[in-house]
Chain A
Amino acid sequence: MALVIKKFFVSHEPREDGVYVEIQARQSGFFSWLFALFGLDPNYSLSILFDKVVYQASSISGFNKVILPIHSVSSIYFGTVRPWGKALFWFLLFAFGAYAAAEMGETKWVVISIVVGLIVAILVYILNRELTIGVTEVTATTYPLVLKRSVIEGQEISEAKLAEISQIFVALLDAHKAAQQH
């Protein structure tokens, strides 16, 4: 299930607590948002520090926290998925309505159905995209966060921001490599 972002911090300069990257997210949906107001929401976080990566997943049944030394992380990955199938479903739904209108000879409703269907499909395709970012441990265990746009909080991150996180991670590895060589 896709998560919505509660907190997003990315900086080339570490924060006071040594964090370069911090993403906090909660499960999407109205009820999750409502629970979040009382601090009862299941939430997920991914933090990148100078020497470790911290992943935490908590839910109503408990939590799981993983602290990975930075040298135990084999890769960092990110990407985006656009829901073309969902968009097509909505368009076909309206197209079926347009066909029904055509069978009844309602030309006006044929045009309205197709145009509305097109707009809905485009909005679903653009606004419902999901972004994934995660790290892979050397044991091939992955720690992903699948993020989507939040309608309520309105927080959104772009692919460029995820690319910036990957750059920071690579720069961290370079900094460690340089420290070992000296």
Chain B
Amino acid sequence: MSSPSLELGPRKGPSLPHDAPPLGPALNVSAQVRGPTLSSNQSVGAQLPTLSVLPYVLAAVLLSALLLVPLLYLSSWRSGEGADAPPWYLSLIEIARQHIAGGHEMEEEVQAQTAEPQEEAPAIDLPRDLASQIAALAGKSCHNFLEDGDDPAAKYAFEQLIWSRLNKEWQDSATERLDVCTPFKWQTPQVLSVMACAKGACGSDDVKFYISRDGKVGIDVTANGSCTQASEEGFAPTELLCSR
């Protein structure tokens, strides 16, 4: 049986006509196609969503007004006119302060455990004369002038001018109500006063301290809506007591 013979050499293809390539049309590259005047269907793409910004602007104005209210209270509080602040705001501020104070106490405890013993702080120059002591109380609040307060001058003045002059009964009655309080402010040109309220219930469960420019002290306590009062001999503006 004989095997087929294989042709191993290259096959020669037909010769191609390369001298006459097919020619395309001549192009006019500057030609411009000018389309017709269009009559667009107004319903397609013409319906836009609401684009008015008025609702958003009104919402922003409303939110700004809401933000302004507590800031105005805070401002009046800081400027010593906080007696006008409502009890809920005073409670809010006091709670915030207690949280902050609590945090600081923890930090201080940690620092006390880790810190090296330090030299004793220099003595604070406390006001000695009556006018300076009264001035030291103006604008100060419970967290400044109470026993654990942060203002030594105000603490000293409160202790000297008011607290030490109250008998045990009045002190106990007042202590129950030193929950939140307004700052000391000049109720009249002659009398500086401060009000403290048990659980923020100013007007129904509170205590109010008064001190006149000549150093005379008055106090009133409201319990369940009824007010009792006391004042030192010589305290002239007695009409202020229980006047709220």
Contacts and interface: CB of A to CB of B under 8 A. Distances in A.
A85 to B, nearest CB: 13
Interface in B55-97: 56-57, 60-61, 64, 67-68, 71-72, 74-80
A104 interface: yes
B45 A125 contact: no
- Chain B interface residue count: which class? 20 to 34
Interface string A98-124: 110111111100110011011001100
A175 interface: yes
Interface stretch (A13-21, A37-45, A149-157): A13-21
Contact of B35 (A51, A91, A98): A51
Nearest to A104: B78
A79 to B, nearest CB: 10
- Chain A interface residue count: which class? 35 or more
B138 to A, nearest CB: 13
Interface in B36-57: 36-42, 44-46, 48, 51, 53, 56-57
A53 to B, nearest CB: 13
Contacts, number: 112
Contact of A125 (B41, B48, B56): B56
A13 B48 CA distance: 23
B72 A51 contact: no
A107 B78 CA distance: 10
Nearest to A48: B35
Nearest to B74: A102
A23 to B, nearest CB: 16
Interface stretch (A27-35, A56-64, A165-173): A165-173
Interface string A80-97: 101010000001000100
Contact of A102 (B53, B64, B75): B75
Nearest to B77: A105
B75 A175 contact: no
Nearest to A13: B37
A82 B53 contact: yes
A59 to B, nearest CB: 26
Contacts of A117: 64
B68 A167 contact: no
A126 B71 contact: no
B224 interface: no
A167 B60 contact: no
A1 interface: no
B168 interface: no
A143 interface: no
B33 A105 contact: no
Contact of A105 (B36, B48, B68, B79): B79
A79 B242 CA distance: 67
28 contacts: A12-B39, A12-B40, A13-B38, A17-B32, A49-B32, A50-B33, A50-B35, A84-B56, A91-B60, A102-B74, A107-B75, A107-B76, A114-B67, A114-B71, A118-B60, A118-B61, A118-B64, A121-B60, A122-B57, A125-B57, A126-B53, A159-B51, A167-B41, A167-B42, A168-B38, A170-B44, A171-B40, A172-B35
CB-based closest 8 A-B pairs: A50-B35, A105-B79, A105-B78, A166-B45, A167-B40, A171-B38, A171-B40, A102-B75
